[in-house]
Chain A
Amino acid sequence: MSISSGSAPEQQPGSEEPRSEEPRLTGMVLVEPDHPDHPDNRDARKGSRKSTPPASGGGGTDVPRMAWGRFARAMRPQLNRGSVVGLLMAILLGFAISTQVQSTRNQSLETLREEDLVRILDDLSQTNTRLDREIIDLERTRDDLRTGAGPAAAKAARDRADTLGILAGTLRATGPGITMTINDPQRTVQAANLIDVVQELRDAGAEAIQIGSVRVVASTSFTDNDGIEADGTRLQAPYRIIAIGTPATMSSAMAIPGGVSDTIRRLGGSTKVEEFESVTVDALHSVQAPRYAQPVPTTAQ
């Protein structure tokens, strides 16, 4: 295969027009493409004359129609050697095009001048230095977090969350404490008496209190409403109170002469206090986010 045949793909064995590369090039460059002297125009006229003998005289009206016919024939899907070869070539070309387009999009350094490359190199090394410093900083932070402050801070946060959860009544609590049962056969015990009980337990150091199925928290209310309601939940006698704290202190606080037990007994009820190594306050208080109160922002350290 010679180079000349390769560089002129449209040149077929049967075409007698000698088409050399140079006249075409100079023709294209120097002469307008539509100029009649343009080599391609001459070629086209010759080609059409050759292909349509009846319409001699250089391109009759049926020449485009014939060309369209050939075009349509070529477009028609048909299976022969030529179409298979064309398919393979086209796949190859499409693959090459998309590959090249993507690689061009990825890198364009090759086309740059030397000074641009030097500038880019400078930028890169500066960025590199900056990033190195950042890496060192971040590694130091990471080591700090990993070795020292990290677990301790996390544990402190967990402890704090536990404490707040027990205080707010959102966590079940267990520990030493007492249970107190108030029998009220004559239904004479009122909300005020239960408030006194809770108050007395808190004075004695109770950390978590439950009355019936109600967790007693800072906002818990007791109301008389043909019976006693705590936070809107009706309490049924006998009232059973669980409190976590120092058992001895709380039970003696309940037994103070003239205290809550005496008062209830005077009303016709009876109380019974038991101390336990471990009691469980398992009622939970559901916390609503405050609508108005906002934490005062702490000044950043």
Chain B
Amino acid sequence: MIPIIGLVIGIAIGVVLNPDVPLWLQPYLPIAVIAALDAIFGGIRATLDGIFNDKVFVVSFISNVIVAAFIVFIGDQLGVGSQLTTGVVVVLGVRIFANVASIRRHLFKA
């Protein structure tokens, strides 16, 4: 409940402030968002598994974001940034799907 409220608050802040994404952050923000989504769904799944741990969640959230951004950064340096971005998005998307599938199985047993 509280995280959902936080999500709404965060979206509202973003809409109201409408900040400009700094140029250096532009390639990494979308990847970081997807990585954070992955961590969120992982956290929900862990909650349903009964093994949720806030410390692990925070660490995984932050490290997910950092690692995803770092991979894209490395890719940019190597000249394969767009391909690597696609790869990261695919991997994270697959993981999100897997987590959602697990959540769904927990909640609906289907």
Contacts and interface: CB of A to CB of B under 8 A. Distances in A.
Contacts of A25: 91, 94
A51 B46 CA distance: 11
B58 A91 contact: no
Given A10-B43, A13-B56, A94-B9, A77 B2 contact: yes
Interface of B: 1-15, 18-21, 26, 29-30, 32-33, 36-40, 42-54, 56-64, 66-67, 91, 94-95, 97-99, 101-102, 105-109
Given A64-B107, A90-B7, A9 B14 contact: no
Contacts of A252: none
Contacts of B49: 10, 12, 15, 47, 51
Contacts of A86: 2-3, 6, 43, 54, 57
Given A33-B101, A87-B5, A99 B14 contact: yes
Interface in A121-164: none
A68 interface: yes
The 5 closest A-B pairs by CB, nearest first: A94-B10, A6-B63, A98-B14, A90-B6, A9-B60
Interface of A: 1, 3, 5-15, 21, 24-25, 28-29, 33-34, 40-41, 43-44, 47-48, 51, 59, 63-64, 66-68, 70-71, 74-78, 81-100, 102-104, 110
A98 B6 contact: no
B106 A64 contact: yes
Given A24-B95, A100-B30, A68 B6 contact: no
B96 to A, nearest CB: 10
B9 A71 contact: no
B63 A97 contact: no
Nearest to A98: B14
A44 B105 contact: yes
Contact of B36 (A70, A71, A96): A96
Given A41-B105, A63-B106, A33 B97 contact: yes
A95 B14 contact: yes
B67 A3 contact: yes
Nearest to B36: A93
Contacts of B12: 94, 98
A21 B67 CA distance: 14
